[in-house]
Structure 1
Amino acid sequence: MRVLRGRAATIAADRERTRTMLARTGETGEPAVRVWAPHRQVAFGRREAAEPGYDRAVAAARERGFDPVERSVGGRAVAYTGSTVAFAHAVPVTDPRVGLDDRYDAAVGSLRRALASLGVDAVPGEPPDAFCPGSHSLQCEGKVVGIAQRVRTDAALVAGCVVVADRGAFADVVDAVYGALEQPFDPASVGSVAAAGGPSDPDPVIDAVERQLVGDAATTVSRIGNGHT
């Protein structure tokens, strides 16, 4: 299994690293894992770009110091504050119609074990009117983890985010963005690892999530930039 660590110098370069990771898994059949803290941004789902309030939502993100980008996996907009952790697990597939639920279940289990190792007893589910609503989430005093999936003919990318700290900044920008898109959102629905008794530093969260996604697989590590981020 390939493991990518670190963050590229720009948002565009960083996103390209994940796209390349997925493409390589499709070409070679070798799984890959990446866990990191992305640059400050709001990642919009593809369908949101066609909605009437999209321009207002982009402006709301920029006004709060978040660069707007469009993400390839499904779901609603998600904020990355700088401490928010992202994870991406690329796995080969032979039939894109098979294995969707199994991959989701495996990701939920891995993230739950990772949080438990940090002292956070997260459980499946989410509060009403949460960010990026979906059936594959984890909560502990608010939604902490959201998971989405992109499936190609040769590989799938199971990806998501962990709200580590900065719960107020996260909720503030998502509230403004969802308001512009006329989507329901309750700022009180946002949880975080720190608020649930875990660390506020993203580094131990990155380590814990990577460890669980990799499992006992033999790894080849590649470094992107410097440090955990």
Structure 2
Amino acid sequence: MNNTRLLVSGSAGSAITELVIPALLLRTPNAPWSQLVHIYVPQGPTVAFSGRDLRSPGITEATELARAAGFEPVVRSPGGRMVAYDSGAVVIDHLDSTTDIRHAGASTFAANAESHVRVLRGLGAIDARIGEVEGEYCPGEFSINVGGDTKVVGSAQRVTSTGSLFSTVVQVAVSDRVHAVITDVSKALGYDLRQSSIAGLADYEPALTATEVAAAFVADYRDRLDMIDSELPPEMVAHAAKAHGGSPFRVDDWTRSNPLLA
């Protein structure tokens, strides 16, 4: 069995490019790696919708609100619900070519949440805990909160016949525009939201930056999973950079229609 574990850091481009890349990697047949983790600080403001959000009668209004606020509306590959972020966040995409639909479920969420909580607690006086808080956006049993009051980390999963994608957003410094767009888009989609549940790690450790938090997660994945520093395949990045389409842009639709040919 291939046991190559690759660790990639740094943004690969625009909001659409960054979300297309893991979808393309997930569709890679006979991947030359068993696991690949990409950790980056996003370049552009993004509202990442899910397929579930598309079923809301308010999706058109939500998309318009996102664009008006200067955010790129994208329907990502993993599930969950809408999340908004900018360069004050850290995104972690963990791909595993050795898993399939039989391995989907709560155990993956629990294991990742436990690892992520350990990293957050090592960053300072952050009372990181696992669990959903009342009124949070993109609610989930394995969200990570601070003090049982505010959500700072959320994850979503996609599992296919060629592997799994576990994607995590860590909110470090939540800007006013991120707070506002989460509030406005949640309302348009008809989702309950307690605005005071929106927070970032810097609300508890003001000196923290997204770059520092990304570096902490890079070190954790490198050591914990014995990963080798690497780069994304340049031909894949170039292919993903060609992606464009409707609003919101739908990652899976584009990757199905534009596969990366060997």
- 2:154 and 2:83 map into 1 onto residues whose CA distance is 9
What runs of 5+ residues in structure 2 fail to find an aligned partner?
238-262
Aligned to 1:162: 170
Q: Which amino acid aligns with 1:156?
A: S
Cα contact 1:118–1:199 (8 A) shared by 2: no
Aligned pairs (5 A) from 1:62-81: 62-81=67-86
Question: Which entry has the higher C-alpha Rg, 1 or 2?
Answer: 2
> Offset at 1:94?
4.7
Aligned to 1:91: 96
Aligned to 2:36: 32
- TM-score for both structures, normalised by structure 2: 0.79
CA, structure 1 residues 94+6, in 2 after alignment: closer, same or farther (shift >3 Å)? Answer: closer
What runs of 5+ residues in structure 1 fail to find an aligned partner?
none
CA, structure 1 residues 2+20, in 2 after alignment: closer, same or farther (shift >3 Å)? Answer: farther
CA, structure 1 residues 26+79, in 2 after alignment: closer, same or farther (shift >3 Å)? Answer: farther
Q: Classify the secondary structure of the residue corresponding to 1:19.
A: helix
Number of equivalences: 225
Give yes or no for the alignment of 1:42 onto 2:50: no
> Offset at 1:42?
0.3
Post-superposition Cα deviations, 1:109-158, rounded to whole Å, max 9, x if no partner, equal 12111111211220011321101111111101510000111111231111
Post-superposition Cα deviations, 1:9-63, rounded to whole Å, max 9, x if no partner, equal 3223222322233334863451010111222110001121232100000111112
1:191 equivalent among 185, 192, 199 = 199
Aligned to 2:190: 182
Give yes or no for the alignment of 1:13 onto 2:13: no
- TM-score for both structures, normalised by structure 1: 0.89
CA, structure 1 residues 149+25, in 2 after alignment: closer, same or farther (shift >3 Å)? Answer: farther
Cα contact 2:34–2:98 (8 A) shared by 1: no
Aligned to 1:202: 210
Q: Which amino acid aligns with 1:135?
A: E
Q: Which amino acid aligns with 2:230?
A: V
Cα contact 1:29–1:92 (8 A) shared by 2: yes
Cα contact 2:51–2:75 (8 A) shared by 1: yes
Please tell me the root mean square deviation across aligned C-alpha atoms, in Å: 2.1
